[in-house]
Amino acid sequence: MSDRDPVRLFLALWPEPPLRKTLSAYRDAWRWPAGAKPVTDATLHLTLHFIGAFARARLPALSASLAAVPVEEMVVRPADAEVWKGGIAVLRVHGDAALPRLHDRLGVVLADAAIALDLRPFAPHVTLARKAAKAKPPGEKPAFEWRADAFALVESLPGRSAHYEVLERFGVSPQTRSDFASG
């Protein structure tokens, strides 16, 4: 690949292994219709902003801008299970005030980089499956309190199924950063 090759990017809260296990168990408790495409364990996340195609040569500048965004610790808790139009099964989540503040701060950085923003209201969620129009959630929502103090710049790699690579994590101390695994 050359520096001119575009990458497909998004910003996300990326769960650590214990929370990923909780989210996976919740996903597995759903009743999925034939043809549903549950999201793999390794790709469960909460999207903050979708960036889309982005010039690889511009990544260092974007990374430097993202590194300057202040990140407060935030607490995210489960809300309701829903199946959205188009058959997207999600777990809606509620975050404290730090979550929308982070979303807004990141939006400013992206707009300054001439990246088009999604104009729909921010609806924090974890996608559990696609093609799941008649899916049935379990009777109880999962029990967790997600304490996040970082966000990730993630590349969506080409292929037949979703495969993501965390390129960089922002907002954590250097000692925590070295412990991060992209799942």
Give pLDDT tens digits for 51-100.
999 999 999 999 999 999 999 999 999 999 999 999 999 999 999 999 99
**Measuring CA to CA, which residue among 20, 29, 12, 28 is closest to residue 66?**
12
Roughly what angle, to the nearest 10 degrees, separates helices 98-112 and 59-67?
140
The residues facing 41 across adjacent strands are none
Q: Which residues pair with 130 in a beta bridge?
A: 37
How many C-beta atoms surround the C-beta of residue 11 within 10 A? 25
Beta pairing class for 74-84 and 46-55: unpaired
Task: Give the predicted TM-score (pTM) of the model.
Answer: 0.89
Q: Dump pLDDT digits (tens) for 93-137.
A: 999 999 999 999 999 999 999 999 998 999 999 999 999 999 999
Average pLDDT, the chain: 90
With 0-12 / 13-18 / 19 or more C-beta atoms within 10 angstroms meaning exposed / middle / buried, residue 82 is middle
CA distance 75 to 35: 34
| Domains and their CATH numbers in the chain | 6-177 (3.90.1140.10)
Compute the 3-state secondary structure of the chain and give helix, strand, coil in percent, each to the nearest 5.
25, 35, 40
